[in-house]
C-alpha cells in the first residue's frame, strides 16, 4: 500500500488496480473498507468494459474474447511513475495476457492528488496501437454509509446537482433489460436511502444531467462526488445484505442487454480512440464535514 497526505486528508492506494483503498479526514474513514462479507473491493477502475458482457464474452473483428465483469484493469499491477507527499501517479500497459482478452495496445496512467479537503483522481488512456481502440471506462468508489456511530444506512440521502427524471432498467444476472423499468423517477433531486431500493441490483441513470451527487446525513456531513464528462451513474449496494456502504459509479458505458448479439463495437457509449491519441476522465471526492 502507498499513502499520500496533505494535513487535511490521508489517502491509501493499492498498486493492484491503482485502487483507492482508504480516504480519511479527522479520524473518519470515508471509503468502504472492503469487508469480504459484503464486497471485497473498495474503489476499482473499470476498463475496457463497464458491467457484464453477455456470456462473459464479446466478439471483436469476428473473434471471441472472454472478459469478466467490469473488465480486467482492476486486477492488474501498476507501477509507480512518480510520488510526492500529496500526489501519486500509477501506470500500466498492455501485455501478452491482456491481448488475449482485449486485442488493443493501451497505456493507462492514473493520477491521484489531494487538494484541500478533496481527492482528485484522473485516468489517462493512450492508444499505443495502429488501429482505433474502442472501450468503456468507469469509476466504482464505495463509501461507508453510515459514517458515524449511532447512525444507520437510512439516515443518509443522495442529493443531485440537477433534478433527474429516468427509468432504471431491470437487471437480470448482471445484464440489463433496457425496455423494462425496475423503478421510475421524475424530477428526483434527493434519494433517501434504504436497503430495499437495491433488492433488484443497481439503480442506473442513463444520460445523467448532474455533474455531481452528494452522500449526506441529516446534518449535511458526508461527501460530494464530482464526475464531469461521464454519461451515466450507477448507484449500488449489495442486494439482500444490508451492507453498510453505498457505491456511486460514474460510467461511460454500461452492461450488455439480455438480448445483446455480443458484438463489441455495438456496445453503448464506446469511446473510439485514434492511434497515438489519449483520452482523459476524472473525478473529485470532496469531504463535507
Could you give the 3-state DSSP secondary structure of residue 54?
helix
Q: What are phi and psi of 193, to 5 degrees?
A: -80, 140
Tell me the pLDDT of the chain averaged across its residues: 97
Q: Which residues of the chain, if any, have pLDDT below 50? A: none
What does the block give as the cell for 165? Answer: 427524471
pLDDT tens, residue by residue, 164-185: 999 999 999 999 998 899 999 9
Query: Cα–Cα distance between 172 and 257 in angstroms, integer?
Result: 9
Selection from 17, 29, 23 nearest residue 4 by Cα: 23
Selection from 74, 41, 50, 54 nearest residue 232 by Cα: 50
Could you give the 3-state DSSP secondary structure of residue 79?
strand
User: What is the pLDDT, as a whole number, of residue 252?
Assistant: 98
Given CA atoms 243, 253, 139, 69 in this order, what sign does their dihedral have? Answer: positive
pLDDT tens, residue by residue, 19-68: 999 999 999 999 999 999 999 999 999 999 999 999 999 999 999 999 99
Residues comprising the chain, all counted? 289
User: What is the pLDDT, as a whole number, of residue 178?
Assistant: 86
Residue in the structure block whose three cell numbers are 445484505? 241
For 234-288, the DSSP string reads EEE--TTS--SEEEEEEEES-PPBTT---BGGGSTT-EEEPTT-EEEEEEEEEEE
User: What is the pLDDT, as a whole number, of residue 189?
Assistant: 97
Amino acid at each position: 500500500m502507498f499513502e499520500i497526505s496533505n494535513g487535511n486528508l490521508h489517502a491509501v492506494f493499492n498498486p493492484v488496480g491503482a485502487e483507492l483503498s482508504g480516504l480519511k479526514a479527522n479520524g473518519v474513514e470515508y471509503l468502504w473498507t472492503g469487508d469480504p462479507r459484503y464486497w471485497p473491493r473498495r474503489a476499482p477502475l473499470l476498463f475496457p468494459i463497464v458491467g457484464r458482457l453477455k456470456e462473459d464474452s464479446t466478439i471483436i473483428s469476428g473473434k471471441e474474447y472472454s472478459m469478466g465483469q467490469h473488465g480486467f484493469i482492476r486486477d492488474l499491477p501498476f507501477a509507480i511513475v512518480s510520488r510526492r507527499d500529496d500526489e501519486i501517479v500509477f501506470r500500466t500497459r498492455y501485455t501478452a495476457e491482456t491481448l488475449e482478452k482485449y486485442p488493443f495496445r493501451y497505456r493507462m496512467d492514473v493520477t491521484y492528488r489531494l487538494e484541500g479537503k478533496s481527492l482528485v483522481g484522473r485516468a489517462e488512456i493512450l492508444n499505443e496501437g495502429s488501429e482505433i481502440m474502442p472501450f468503456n471506462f468507469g469509476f466504482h468508489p464505495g463509501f461507508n454509509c453510515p459514517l458515524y456511530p449511532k447512525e444507520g444506512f437510512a439516515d443518509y440521502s443522495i442529493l443531485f446537482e440537477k433534478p433527474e427524471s429516468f427509468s432504471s432498467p431491470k437487471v437480470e444476472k448482471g445484464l440489463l433489460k433496457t425496455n423494462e423499468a425496475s423503478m421510475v423517477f421524475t424530477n428526483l433531486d434527493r434519494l433517501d436511502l434504504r436497503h430495499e431500493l437495491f433488492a433488484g441490483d443497481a439503480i442506473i441513470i442513463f444520460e445523467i444531467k448532474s455533474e455531481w451527487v452528494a452522500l449526506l446525513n441529516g446534518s449535511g456531513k458526508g461527501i460530494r462526488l464530482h464526475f464531469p464528462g461521464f454519461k451515466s451513474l450507477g448507484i449500488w449496494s449489495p442486494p439482500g445484505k444490508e451492507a453498510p456502504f453505498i457505491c456511486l459509479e460514474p460510467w461511460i458505458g454500461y452492461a450488455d442487454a439480455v438480448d445483446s448479439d455480443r458484438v463489441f463495437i455495438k456496445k453503448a457509449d464506446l469511446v473510439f480512440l485514434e492511434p497515438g491519441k489519449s483520452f482523459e476522465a476524472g473525478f473529485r471526492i470532496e469531504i463535507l464535514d
